[in-house]
Amino acid sequence: YLALGYAYLQENHFSEAASNFRQARVVGDSLNDYAEFLGAKAEHDSGNNASAEELLKGFADRNPDSIFLQQVPELEAQVLLGMGDPSGAQRVLSANPDAAARSGYQVALAQVNQAEGQSGEAARIYKHVLLTWPLSFDAQTARSRLTAMGVETSLTFTELRSLGDAYYNGGHYAEASEQ
pLDDT tens by residue, 102-160: 999 999 999 999 999 999 999 999 999 999 999 999 999 999 999 999 999 899 999 99
CB 116 within 8 A of CB 93: no
pLDDT tens by residue, 61-84: 999 999 999 999 999 999 999 999
| Least confidently predicted of 24-28, 49-53, 169-173 | 24-28
The values of phi and psi at residue 9, to 5°, are -60, -40
Q: What is the pTM of this model?
A: 0.83
pLDDT band for 165, please (50, 70, 90 cuts).
Answer: very high
CA distance linking residue 147 with residue 150, whole number of Å: 5
CA distance linking residue 163 with residue 165, whole number of Å: 5
CA distance linking residue 9 with residue 13, whole number of Å: 6
- Closest of 97, 98, 56, 46 to residue 77, by C-alpha: 56
pLDDT band for 10, please (50, 70, 90 cuts).
Answer: confident
- Closest of 103, 128, 104, 126 to residue 113, by C-alpha: 126
